[in-house]
Structure 1
Amino acid sequence: MNRALVVGIGDYGRLMQPLPGCANDRQGWSELLRGALGATGDALRVRADAQATKLTLLNDLAWLLDDVRPGDQRVFFFAGHGARLRRRDPVTGIADDVIDETIVAHPGASGDYESFMLFDADLAAMIDQSGFPPSARLTLIMDSCHSGGMMRKILMEDADVPLPRCLMIPEEDESPSRAPAAEPTVRSFGSLARAQVQVQRVILAAARAEQPAWDDRMPNGLRHGVFSYHALNALAAQPAISFSDMVATVAPQIAARFPQVPTLLGDSSRFSNRMFN
């Protein structure tokens, strides 16, 4: 059975960093995957805003990776904030020298930043330990960025301007133990697609690792992730489009207004194949 998990977090509650385009992305990808995968009813899970806590998303991801049969397609779409953070050792409390890249779940009422981050390495381990068969297809579509600190000076008062999908951690909330070194080592989010993997997957990322992914008002008059808007239009026009052709189609459209380059990672043998069938 094909399954899809669609997550769009536009209201980050107490973090006060909204992304108004995520609701339209969530709706657009849900509708597309219902048709493209036949993922209806219990085969499609959609999480919005406060529903999308870290615990809920981990349970949903376990469901997405479970009971997979040969030929199944499983798709995870995420629209929301990305971030970079040094993890603490759970015993000593000492922060790692390496900065990890994450996607940001809804924070709930309390807890420090790490408590609502889904770290790349944890997601990769979850996938590799799932027993996902090689004859099935796993696709992750990430409309977020993973370089939050670089954008912290952007003001958020006007929600109708382009917004980066990078969590901005206020400087006063960053303890010295969290602050990056002068030349930090960043463990790339692309480790979801690292060479030594147990489960092959394709990651379609909205932007390169060093770039923000943007949220803006688009020609249809609505807010969207810039990548999602163009990707959904391309799929509507060419339902049989391949991963490579998707990137080739939307990249120049995005580049006309934003310094953002969609990127393919992972199982390159699938790049020339139809995205969904």
Structure 2
Amino acid sequence: MRRRRRERRRLPPERLPLRTSRRHFRRGRGGGILGCVGSVQGDGMRRMMAGLAAATALSLAAQPAQAEIRALIVAVSKYTDPIPSLDGPPNDAGALKAVLEQQGSRDIVTLNDAAATRGSIRAALEALGQRAKPGDWVIFYYAGHGAQAKSRDPAEEDGLDEFMALSGFRVTRPDTEQYILDDDLRGWLTNFFPTSVNVLQIADACHSGTMNRSLAGPSVFRKRTLDNPLAISLPPRPADPAARAPAGLDPPNLVYVGAAQDDQFALEGPLPRSDSPPRGLLTYALEGALKDRRPNGRLAADQDDDGRLSLAELASTLETRTRELSATQQWSSAAVPARNERSVIFQPLKPPPADERPVEVKAADDQAAELLGERGPWASIPRGTPDLTWSAKEGWVTDSRGDRVAENLTSPEQLAGVINKRKALAQLAATANERRVRVEIGPKPKGQLYKSGEGVDLAVVHRGAASYLTAFNLAGDGTVQLLFPLEGDGDGKMVEGQTRVVMARTKAAPPFGVDNVVAVATPVEPTVLRAALKRMDGKREAMAAAGVVQDELAQAKGQAALGLGELYTAR
């Protein structure tokens, strides 16, 4: 990718909301209420302070000695033909339960497969509501198929209802015990839990949509959705007043995290490597967000580096992580009410041991097989599902997701560049803060392919304090390409508030494959970072580039931010 014209455009300051899904078993957005008190003097002030002290004492007496985490975990993997069964939900449920137990939770209810019915889930939620105390966190987690069906509600804009398809669900004759509509679940979460109890809903399931990009080969990922929603007609649900949420805005205590956007599938597959157990991408990303560390020992997802992983930070990092794991086939969605943006549920977990295994590569032809016999950061496997497949004769490399990640790649040195780029990208994705820095790539929708010579627009949207923008591209073979600032761009300073910087209007060019644009916003001009990137420009130095970016983020002590963007190029 090469720049050919530079232009900058600034937009006025503006507060940006967190990205939210249009509908993921919930409606609308939460909000908060702020109150203010005027000044009072003399006896009035003393009376007010005495009243506040008394009210505080009563409030403290009403609070539990210690807030608890309670959970209902629902995992459905066994379905009736022709609905495909899933492999990942049991592994996801087990992983989440282990996480919650490490957080000290002692009130965890699990419902699996046939035990998970509409009635049992409703009863379990109602019982949790009766046990929960003010200040507690209640987590409702679902892993399984999500789907859409024709709606009976004329208020549905697209004429479709989202629902959880439970074990035994049949498309032709649905049983009311074997599905739950998003509206019903929202009603239960609203009516069973007072606003003094916080609720986190996690759905590692599909809802709707189609993939934008054609894959070059078979992918190890499977969809968690049913096909052809218009063919599904659901019978009327049982009469249930508790399934109707009060009209108006979402309650301020309800936090939602979903696996995918409305127009995407949620995926499951072997993670972190091709020989690993199947996992849902969202749940795996959540686990990683609680384990992966910065060099200073704090969580990589702790974007302001204050030692606390807030819900807003967790929601932001899950989007980046699911997108990186799926190669933009999926990125999570979230709705975090204002009162809970700074809330903390999860404490850091013990970091995982370093994965010292070499990347597994399978040869697609005899030429690649011979070259893979040389020493390098790989292990050659003759069969099975590899991390990468290489055709040295034709020059392409595909990953386990089916994407062609590099072309014109005929030497072991180039293959090593692809492998090192994968490692560098994983490090960068763990520390991204796309609430502050977001990379925009157009004009095509995310994930679509750009052919050689087609125009590509690159821009960055920044929110926050005045910062300096530095950006570079990691090409498919790990080649570093400096994007911003170049000669004529000035110092790259962005004003406080919201700023949109158009970095380049360029064309897709070699080396083809998966390109990753890295944008870094720093509080002071990063002369060391820029000098290092300038030395690496045009070289396969992905790991070194990631290292200098990590150093810059560490020195900024939470005042810098990183954003990532992906595009796919081919001849």
Q: 2:279 aligns with which of 208, 211, 224?
A: 224
RMSD between aligned residues = 3.3
Q: CA separation in 2, counterparts of 1:68 and 1:195? A: 24
| Counterpart AA for 1:120 | D
Task: Tell me the residue number matched to 1:200.
Answer: 253
Q: Counterpart of 2:266 in structure 1: which amino acid?
A: A
Q: Identity, % of aligned pairs?
A: 26
CA distance in 1, matches of 2:189, 2:318: 28
* Superposition pairs of residues 78-117 of structure 1, within 5 angstroms: 78-87=142-151, 98-107=159-168, 112-113=173-174, 115=176, 116-117=178-179
Give the TM-score of the pair, scaled to structure 1: 0.76
Partner-residue secondary structure (3-state), 1:5: strand
SS of aligned partner of 2:130: coil
8 Å contact 2:204–2:280 — kept in the other structure?
A: yes
Seen in structure 2, the aligned counterparts of structure 1 residues 66 and 113 have a Cα distance that, compared at 3 Å, is: same
Residues 258 and 51 (structure 1 numbering): CA distance in 2 closer, same or farther, change over 3 Å?
farther
1:209 to 257, 262, 266: 262
Q: From 205, 226, 238, give the equivalent of 1:167.
A: 226
The alpha carbon displacement at 1:240 in A equals 4.5
1:53–1:108 CA contact under 8 A, matched in 2 = no
> 1:168-183 maps to which residues of 2 (within 5 A)?
168=227, 174=231
2: CA distance, partners of 1:244 / 1:23? 27
Q: Distance in 2 between matches of 1:129 and 1:250?
A: 28
With over 3 angstroms needed to count, the CA separation of the structure-2 counterparts of 1:109 and 1:196, relative to structure 1, is: closer
Residue 243 in structure 1 maps to residue 243 in structure 2: no
Are residue 45 (structure 1) and residue 109 (structure 2) matched? yes
User: CA offset at residue 141 of structure 1?
Assistant: 0.7
Residues 14, 66 of structure 1: alpha-carbon distance in 2 compared, 3 angstrom cutoff:
farther
Give the AA of the match of 1:106: S
* Greater RCO structure (CA 8 Å; 6+ sep): 1
1:137 aligns with 2:198: yes
Mapping 1:62-81, distance limit 5 Å: 62-81=126-145
Which structure's CA Rg is the greater one?
Answer: 2
- Residue 66 of structure 1: CA displacement? 2.3
Tell me by how many angstroms 1:214 deviates. 0.7
Q: Counterpart of 1:120?
A: 182
> Cα gap change, 1:110/1:260 in structure 2, threshold over 3 Å: closer, same or farther?
closer
Give unpaired runs (5+ residues) of structure 1: 90-95, 152-157, 179-190
Structure 1 residues 87 and 135, CA gap change in structure 2 (3 angstroms): same
Distance 1:15 1:117 in 2: 16
Determine whether 1:274 maps to 2:344.
yes
Report the Cα distance in structure 1 between the residues aligned to 2:136 and 2:174, rounded to whole angstroms.
35
- Tell me by how many angstroms 1:250 deviates: 3.4
Q: Distance in 1 between matches of 2:201 and 2:289?
A: 17
1:6 is matched with which residue? 73
Q: Could you tell me how far apart the structure 2 residues matched to 1:219 and 1:110 are?
A: 33
Relative to the length of structure 2, the TM-score reads: 0.39
Cα contact 1:68–1:133 (8 A) shared by 2? no
Q: Which has the higher helix share?
A: 1
Deviations 1:164-207, CA, capped at 9 Å, x for gaps: 11123588xx37x78xxxxxxxxxxxx99x96235630001111
Contact 1:206 1:263 in 2 (8 A): yes
